[in-house]
A and B are shown apart, each in its own frame.
Chain A
Amino acid sequence: KQEVTQIPAALSVPEGENLVLNCSFTDSAIYNLQWFRQDPGKGLTSLLLIQSSQREQTSGRLNASLDKSSGRSTLYIAASQPGDSATYLCAVYQGAQKLVFGQGTRLTINP
């Protein structure tokens, strides 16, 4: 059974810092991996989708990497801003049909 783990569970950093969120998964036989953002009381906003054949994806200040062989992905956020404060969720596509999520990292950027 696929298990997805995100470390740390919570992170607080001052504005302007670069930071890395970690995601690990137990079964490397995944299709794609997706990073989401969730604001309190809201749904999920897709940030980046990394296809299984790719090693990284970039969107603005965000960069996500994928190493299937080691079962790891990282989300790098450059020059963090208070508006980046949210919960970040990592999810892997298992069986090409459904997403298996981690528990998320709750990020707080302090002005």
Chain B
Amino acid sequence: GAGVSQTPSNKVTEKGKYVELRCDPISGHTALYWYRQSLGQGPEFLIYFQGTGAADDSGLPNDRFFAVRPEGSVSTLKIQRTERGDSAVYLCASSASGGANEQFFGPGTRLTVL
């Protein structure tokens, strides 16, 4: 079956603009995660959804970042008033039911803020 997909694969934007990043999890996976990976670093947790609700958003760096998952499948990460420091690869993962079950990652979206 299909794995986790993310669109776009690359996004270049200007400082101050708004961006949306999309994640399609593996079909049937109820848990969805967003991570951010800066160059040369390991990924860092942003937010975790169980179904439609954000069960843990403790990793979101500030209120410019917001994520939704309205129907419990596709998720969108939204970044307002982008800053150059937001430049990174944004990774999405899904798992069958959360609770430390194996997470499967998508290819990521590389965001560049000029």
Which residue numbers of A lie inside 8 Å of B, CB to CB? 4, 31-32, 34, 36, 41-46, 49, 89, 91, 93, 95-104
Instruction: Report B-chain residues with C-beta under 8 Å of the C-beta of A44.
Output: 43, 91, 93, 105
Q: Does B1 contact A (CB under 8 A)?
A: no
Closest to A41 in B: B110
Contact with A along B11-42 (1 / 0, CB 8 A): 00000000000000000000001010000111
Instruction: Report B-chain residues with C-beta under 8 Å of the C-beta of A95.
Output: 56
Instruction: Report B-chain residues with C-beta under 8 Å of the C-beta of A102.
Output: 42
Instruction: Say yes or no: A101-B42 contact (C-beta < 8 A), given A43-B91, A44-B91.
Output: yes
For the complex formed, measure the closest distance between the CB of B29 and the CB atoms of chain A, giving whole angstroms.
14
Contact A32 B100 (CB under 8 A): yes
Instruction: Report A-chain residues with C-beta under 8 Å of the C-beta of B43.
Output: 44, 89, 91, 99, 101
In the bound assembly, the distance between CA atoms of A46 and B106 in angstroms comes to 11
Contact B42 A96 (CB under 8 A): no
How many residues does chain B have at the interface if contact means C-beta atoms less than 8 Å apart?
26
Q: Does B98 contact A (CB under 8 A)?
A: yes
For the complex formed, measure the closest distance between the CB of A57 and the CB atoms of chain B, giving whole angstroms.
11
Closest to A44 in B: B105
Q: List 16 A-B contacts (CB under 8 A).
A: A34-B103, A36-B105, A43-B4, A43-B105, A43-B106, A44-B91, A44-B105, A46-B102, A46-B103, A89-B42, A97-B99, A101-B42, A101-B43, A101-B44, A102-B42, A104-B42
Contact with A along B36-67 (1 / 0, CB 8 A): 00001111110010000001100100000000
Option from B41, B59, B102 in Cβ contact (under 8 Å) with A49: B102
Contact A42 B107 (CB under 8 A): yes
